[in-house]
Amino acid sequence: MTFCNDSDLPDNRRFPKLSAGNYLRVLLIAAVVAVICIAIFLSVGTVRLSQAGVHLALSLVYSVLIALPSMLLLNWIGFRYTERFPRLVILFHAAALLAATSFGVLVSNLLFLIAKIIPRNAFWLEFRVNFTFSFVIALVVGLSIVTYETLRFKLQATKLELRTRQVEQERAYKLLAEARLSSLESRIHPHFLFNTLNSIAALIPSDPQRAEDTVGKLASLLRFSLNANQSGLVLLSQELKIVRDYLEIEKTRFGPRLRYEIAAPDELAEVSVPPLALQSLVENAVKHVVSQRSKGATIRIASTRNSGRIVLEVSDDGPGFTLAAITPEHGLGNLIARLDLLFGGAGQLEVARESDRTVVRLSFPA
């Protein structure tokens, strides 16, 4: 019988206390063993038992009646005094073992006297002989068990504290990641807003109706932007709508210089994607290709599923670039940081040159 189970560890780190159920089980076992032994002696008698059998039965009664109070006292002392008197608790344990041994040997001899196993005039002689031997064994075994259980409990308490710290650390990392993600998105919103306002400003003198329509698209974009800040992912259908609105707004500025195509299968409409991810890629193409060339550019947008991953592509017929030239403050630098926060190493952003077109490919787990 041990002093505690793994599930009995207390939150306050105190030495564990036996439950009422454990006490009842120990008492029941001790009572059954004692009754069986006495019944054997009363019914069979020592004459019909071999010498080895007699010694075995006597030893069993001694061990039960000594071990029971020893266990209860050691657990009670450990629970109450281990933290209060850490240097003296070993003396308390030794005193408890002395008292339990005295009690166990005395009760055992009384039972043997009642069962006429030992004569009345040999009672105290048997007590002295058996007490010395029993106390040495109880001291060695009892202190060994106490030391083992104490160390086991401390190890379990240390593991529990370590797990608690790990959970707290993971929670802190999660909060930090959410804060960083929110910060990155907030840096995107002003940049996007300023570009859109410039488009509207260019329309107002020449085409007020289109300017009004553009304001409506801007309102839709702002609404999406605010809602997207509350979650890490949005539906691809929502992201594509934002991309169309953005391209239509920019088309009011660049006219025929801005041409675009969108190829997205309907079965991917409900796929979750990082908010403003495609918009960042499209905005990069508009800013660095369409606005820099007199003939403009054709932007193609595609989405596919490949081996359990979602792949979003934005390509243009511009001169191209490399990710090595991207700084953290750049729109694509922000996107790379967001992918790292959302997907870890599973989110990737690649730039390739394919058939005289620059392809920016974004992929992450479905």
CA 250 – CA 272 distance, rounded (Å): 26
CA 68 – CA 57 distance, rounded (Å): 17
Structure confidence by residue, pLDDT tens digits, 307-325? 889 999 999 888 877 776 6
* Identity of the highest mean pLDDT range in 80-89, 281-290, 299-308: 299-308
Is residue 338 within 8 Å of residue 274, measured between CB atoms? yes
Q: What is the mean pLDDT of residues 78-102?
A: 77
What's the pLDDT score for residue 216?
87
Q: What is the mean pLDDT of residues 122-149?
A: 77
Q: What is the mean pLDDT of residues 159-173?
A: 80
What's the pLDDT score for residue 108?
77
What's the pLDDT score for residue 189?
62
Is residue 10 scored above 50 in pLDDT? no
Residue 207's pLDDT band (cuts 50, 70, 90)? confident
Is residue 1 scored above 70 in pLDDT? no
Q: What is the mean pLDDT of residues 152-169?
A: 83
Identify the residue with better confidence: 176 or 353: 353
% of the chain exceeding 70 in pLDDT:
72
What's the pLDDT score for residue 6?
40
Quickly tell me which residue has 């564990």 as its tokens. Answer: 16
On average, the pLDDT of the chain sits at: 75
Residue ranges of domains in the chain, CATH in brackets: 6-170 (no CATH), 204-365 (3.30.565.10)
Provide the 3-class DSSP secondary structure of residue 195: helix
% of the chain exceeding 90 in pLDDT:
7
Give the orientation angle of helix 51-81 with respect to helix 89-114, to 10 degrees: 150
* Count of CB atoms situated within 10 Å of the CB of 329: 9
Question: Which residue type is seen at 64?
Answer: V
DSSP state of 118: S
Structure confidence by residue, pLDDT tens digits, 28-82? 665 665 566 556 555 555 444 455 555 666 667 777 777 777 777 777 777 777 6
What's the pLDDT score for residue 38?
58
Q: H helices within the chain, ranges in order? A: 20-44, 51-81, 89-114, 123-203, 208-228, 236-254, 277-285, 331-343
Structure confidence by residue, pLDDT tens digits, 243-276? 898 888 888 778 889 999 999 898 998 998 888 8
Instruction: Give the lowest-confidence range in 174-178, 223-227, 349-353.
Output: 174-178
Instruction: Give the lowest-confidence range in 29-33, 132-136, 176-180, 235-239.
Output: 176-180
What's the pLDDT score for residue 13?
42
What's the pLDDT score for residue 312?
92
Residue 14's pLDDT band (cuts 50, 70, 90)? very low
What's the pLDDT score for residue 88?
77
Got the DSSP string for 255-313? GGGEEEEEE--GGGTT-EE-TTHHHHHHHHHIIIIITT-TT-EEEEEEEEEETTEEEEE
Q: What is the mean pLDDT of residues 116-131?
A: 76
What's the pLDDT score for residue 8?
41
What's the pLDDT score for residue 90?
77
